[in-house]
Amino acid sequence: MLEILILLDLLYYFTLLVCSIEDIRSGEISGDIFWLMISLAVIKNSIEDSQSRVNPIGIVTAILVLYIIGIIGGGDAKIFIASVLYLRGRELQVISCILISLAAELILSKRKKKTPLTSLFAISMLSINLMNIA
């Protein structure tokens, strides 16, 4: 069982990296990748009992509001939502990485160059998880 969960985590982070590269190259994130991440979330949540006390509907709603008012793009919203659903029980980690990404984007936007938000999110997610492993 543990091996399956580790494999799912590796697939999730690999997919997150693919999204990051796609966002840098084209400025868009494929809907196919989003559905792959949602599928991983469904599989993981059916195997693992997360004991999460946080209802993801509130977080997903907040992400959709950020998209509707134009703070984040559609691809960013898809990846954030898929991450919240995949990482049940670690919602605070996802929210922290979203906030770190938005703060970094705000700082970097002073250079007048658009920074892919998904890439910033992927870097912060991977950094936090690598610190947890060490």
Q: Which of 8-17, 49-58, 113-122 has the lowest mean pLDDT?
A: 49-58
- 134 pLDDT higher than 60: no
In the chain, the DSSP E strands lie at: none
* Pairwise CA distance, residues 52 & 36, whole Å: 22
What's the chain's average pLDDT?
87
Element (DSSP H or E) covering residue 78 = helix 74-86
Per domain, the residue ranges of the chain are 2-133
- 37 pLDDT higher than 70: yes
- 110 pLDDT higher than 60: yes
Question: Shortest CA distance to 86 belongs to which of 38, 32, 28, 33?
Answer: 38
Residue entry with tokens 């799912």: 8
Q: Please, which pLDDT band fits residue 5 given cuts at 50, 70 and 90?
A: confident
Q: Is 67 helix (H, G, I), strand (E, B) or coil?
A: helix
Amino acid identity at 46: S
What predicted TM-score, i.e. pTM, was given to this entire model? 0.88
Is the pLDDT higher at 49 or at 35?
A: 35
* Pairwise CA distance, residues 8 & 24, whole Å: 24
- 112 pLDDT higher than 80: no
